[in-house]
Chain A
Amino acid sequence: MRYLPLNENDRVAMLDVIGAKSIDYLFQDVPEKARLETLVDLPKHQSEQAIERHMAKLSAKSVSAGSVPFFCGAGAYKHHIPATVDHLIQRSEFLTAYTPYQPEISQGTLQALFEFQTQVALLTGMDVANASMYDGSTACAEAVVMAKRVTRKSRAILAPGLHPHYAAATQTLASTLDIQIDERDCRPGRDDHVIDHINDDTACVVVQSPNVFGEIIDLAPIAEKAHKHKALLIAVFTEPVALGAIKSPGEQGADIVVGEGQGLGVGLNFGGPHVGLFACTKKLVRQMPGRLCGETVDANGERGFVLTLSTREQHIRREKATSNICTNSGLCCLAFTIHMSLLGDAGLKRLAALNHEAACHLADVIDGIHGAEVMNESFFNEFTVKLNKPAADVVEALAKKGVLGGVPVSRLTEGNEDLLLVCATETSSEEDIHAFEKALTEVLS
């Protein structure tokens, strides 16, 4: 077996040193009734070539985003990833390292995390960011739990435009922690109403911008009202590239910002792994979940980095920890930070402008199709289309014509059968948009 270096002679010699007659001796503590005498009922080992063939066949059974005109978003976005990114994250020293608990021999990972935290803080307009969470939705759920710790209040308001999966993941975590979540009606054009629901019992109000329908929300008045009632504004985003074009949540008064970082450096991956971003104001940092990297010096007085403030974390605080999280999204956050380093301010803004431009063009095209109407007043690279037929059927029909034409809202939450979410990015070519127009016109007629 190609992954196992020991041979039979080694095994015999080693058993001899241990003083064991056979390998079974080392499993003697296993209760007799639980000892497997035969191999489990699964195929035996296979060559690299055989596995590759099997997997290539499976892969070919799916339609990949890069192979067709593609317009899906709703929390996962298709962008071009520079070749440098994937090469670098496959360096052995990044790929096969553990969590950097031994800082003397982990400065590569640690410095990259420190740079990542700074980039996320700048992007979101916040004081500090952590070393990442599993994904945007779990970051959102953890933020609500954190708000309860900070405010000692337990009522959370989730805006109608919050991604339904984010709301659901938050509900799951909240349900066991005595956090009450207000009923919400996930429909377009209702986010402003959250202001009316904020009162002294409110721990936090969670608002996504651009929201799941693509609409850009003015967060400032919501922050103002929340602060008046000693509640926190948790701002959410699912597309990091948007922050290259729209105001940062920080400059609008957010206390905690959580989001999905996949759009920079990380592929679609059928939904995971992605990378959750988590930022907050300086005064909340000790209530934050997740890993944090900080600057310090070594015994020579040279600048170096370590994981820090770990007294918040499970491996020290056990049942008193701020979260049970024991990982970050390491390689994905490395990919994010490399892509961001390549882009810089100028590149990110241009990328964002190209996305917005492609979406504006697509919106004009779709508005011209009979049976389709763009509902948004504002948007970044994604918007909602009202159709004269159920969106799920339309998407299936489009797929048969070789176009992946967006995400039906009904896929995310029940109701809203006639609404379709459509996304365009810098990868959407003129030909793609034309193909979409032609196919959608045929399907709706």
Chain B
Amino acid sequence: MNNEGRPTTPVAINSNERLTVSGSKGLDQAVNLIFEIGTPRRTGVDLPEPKGRASRLGGQERTGEIGLPGLSEPETMRHYVRLSQKNYAIDLGIYPLGSCTMKHNPRLNEKVARMPGFADVHPLQPTSTVQGALELMHQLSHWLMTLCNMPAVALTPKAGAHGELCGMMAIRARLDADGQSQRRRVLVPESAHGTNPATAVQCGFTVDEIPASGDGRVNLDALREKLKESDDVAGIMLTNPNTCGLFERDIVEIADLIHGAGGYFYCDGANFNALVGRVRPGDLGVDAMHINLHKTFSTPHGGGGPGSGPTVLSDALKDFAPLPFVVKDADGFRLVEHEGGEAEGSFGRMCAFHGQMGMYSRALTYMMSHGSDGLKQATEDAVLNANYIQSSLSDVMTVAFEGTCMHEALFDDRFLKDTGVDTLDFAKAMIDEGYHPMTMYFPLVVHGAMLIEPTESESKGELDRFILTMRSLAERAKAGEAESFKQAPVYAPMRRLDETKAARNPVLRWTPPVEE
């Protein structure tokens, strides 16, 4: 994720660029909107003529034009290929977004996900006809539970934030079952992802922020203070490694403290890529943790989704898992879909069907490809790559906290002090150098944060080129070249966009031009 979010209005620029008649610039093709290309009468799909039988639509027939433009197949192909070429992508270069784990997306995953027994099965077919799909879900569960050393996993959550909701709902259900409904306060470190407080509130909890200590970790004394003589704490939501890229050294003690106070430990698993095969959340006292299959286990981000957020649960919470879930018995695999019986404690259903099958097949394919040995190596390489970047840049940029990091390196903007260049400018200058910027202005505990997560997918050569570029940018900023930073990006398909205008006067859809 990226927590920039600050509306920006770009400075006016003096462009000496020569304009072309077509609007294209070589391979950078101009693209109109589909509404400017197609017409409602054109279509790119050949369908037989309906026979015109009697209508049984109950007098609710749609009349008149909907206004949807149709494109022929070649127009469609060209439109979307041109659009695609305006995107950055992992397959193009390093995508160092901290907290996002933009690793290589193997194409074997795509091939497997499209196998008919996974892609072309209906969620409500008789379970006797979907045994392979259920077996895959069961195998995936086994891998996730083993990697986490946790006794249960709820597969259905459809994304990381949905997994957070799952874990917090389970905690709430457990508290209510124990007659502890007064426990409605959730502790969240100030460095947390925005989803954490938003999730807590969506579950009907209140949020109480814990300050960070000087070393970028949870302030234990502040935590003890918050728990003192209280009977209203439901739990804590903690990311580990945390959003500063640091392992919470006191995590076992934190877990003990929260359990001792009658609460539960929700771990945000966004940074699990730093732990897989080396540390198991179950050994740290975690009660619930979502796993972003689209981060740690290589399912594609797809320009913003779909994600998948299976959530592992401890013994204390497993009986409260959402519906549906897969059970294996003597006759094979079956689904528990209704409340009551063996799902007596379940807090209910989170979505229409069984979660993100298309992501399960990809993630399991990835995990089996790596195996226990490869997963551990991937984790080590991810941590090694991040530390290599941190060490190689520590003399020209300012590392936010001393010591080694885990899978991401956090810098602040002290090195830009008095240069006239800010974190946003620095990020935009990276675009001109052919790199997607790192996560910026997050976490909030650091001024002008730059959070770099290279993942294990980068070679040493690629990292060395990246480091060289970052060093050069830092030196240019210090050398007083602020103006060129303010102009950046120059070599992207677009110059800086006016986000203030977009928010002030929202244009959220195309409308036909008014005829004069």
Contacts and interface: CB of A to CB of B under 8 A. Distances in A.
* Co-assembled chains A and B: yes
Nearest to B283: A34
22 contacts: A3-B370, A5-B462, A39-B373, A40-B146, A51-B368, A62-B121, A84-B44, A93-B92, A97-B302, A104-B431, A105-B493, A109-B304, A117-B509, A245-B62, A270-B133, A272-B306, A296-B502, A311-B503, A325-B162, A330-B303, A342-B73, A378-B59
Nearest to A145: B202
Given A96-B89, A321-B194, A338-B80, A175 B348 contact: yes
A298 interface: yes
Contacts of A256: none
A65 B496 contact: no
Contacts of B1: 99, 315, 326
Interface in A15-63: 15, 17-20, 23, 25-31, 33-36, 39-46, 48, 51-52, 54-63
Given A75-B353, A104-B496, A342-B44, 17 more contacts: A5-B457, A14-B384, A42-B375, A51-B369, A62-B132, A92-B91, A93-B85, A93-B92, A97-B90, A168-B349, A171-B348, A176-B202, A272-B306, A308-B508, A314-B197, A353-B50, A404-B125
A101 B100 CA distance: 12
A104 B48 CA distance: 43
Contact of B355 (A20, A111, A272, A351): A272
Interface in A302-327: 302, 304-306, 308-311, 313-321, 323-327
Contact of A46 (B31, B248, B368): B368
Contacts of B493: 104-105, 107
Nearest to B11: A299
B86 interface: yes
A96 B294 CA distance: 11
A306 B246 CA distance: 32
Given A344-B42, A348-B68, A114 B126 contact: no
A131 B508 CA distance: 10
A43 B125 contact: no
A321 B133 CA distance: 36
Contact of A90 (B110, B116, B367): B110
A158 to B, nearest CB: 14
A329 interface: yes
Given A101-B2, A330-B306, A341 B71 contact: yes
Nearest to A361: B53
A176 B497 contact: no
A43 B44 contact: no
A245 B54 CA distance: 13
B202 A65 contact: no
B57 A35 contact: no
B95 interface: yes
Contacts, number: 727
Contact of A331 (B80, B161, B300): B300
Which of B60, B100, B373 has most A Cβ within 10 Å?
B60
Contacts of B385: 6, 14
B301 interface: yes
A350 interface: yes
A346 B34 contact: no
Contacts of A59: 115-118, 132
Contact of B352 (A5, A84, A117, A135): A135
A34 to B, nearest CB: 4
A260 interface: yes
A134 B162 contact: yes
A299 B12 contact: yes
A96 B257 CA distance: 41
Contacts of B135: 58, 61
Interface string B350-387: 11111111110100010111111111111011011101
B494 A302 contact: yes
Given A27-B278, A92-B91, A76 B119 contact: no
B495 A328 contact: no
Contact of B437 (A102, A246, A328): A102
B387 A20 contact: yes
B61 A246 contact: yes
B456 interface: yes
Given A97-B302, A334-B302, A341 B502 contact: no
A357 B133 CA distance: 32
A242 B90 CA distance: 37
Which of A105, A247, A329, A332 has most B Cβ within 10 Å?
A105
Contact of A318 (B60, B85, B194, B373): B194
A72 interface: yes
B112 A378 contact: no
A43 B494 CA distance: 47
A248 interface: yes
A369 interface: no
Which of A107, A304, A341, A347 has most B Cβ within 10 Å?
A341
A5 B493 CA distance: 30
B368 to A, nearest CB: 5
Interface in B124-165: 124-126, 128-133, 135-136, 143, 146-147, 158-162, 164-165
B352 A357 contact: no
Interface stretch (A121-129, A194-202, A225-233, A431-439): A121-129
B5 interface: yes
B349 A44 contact: no
B104 A3 contact: yes
A216 interface: yes
| A-B complex: 3 closest residue pairs judged by Cβ atoms | A344-B70, A271-B353, A378-B58
Contacts of B431: 102, 104-105
A138 interface: yes
B328 interface: no
Given A51-B108, A97-B303, A356-B56, A39 B509 contact: no
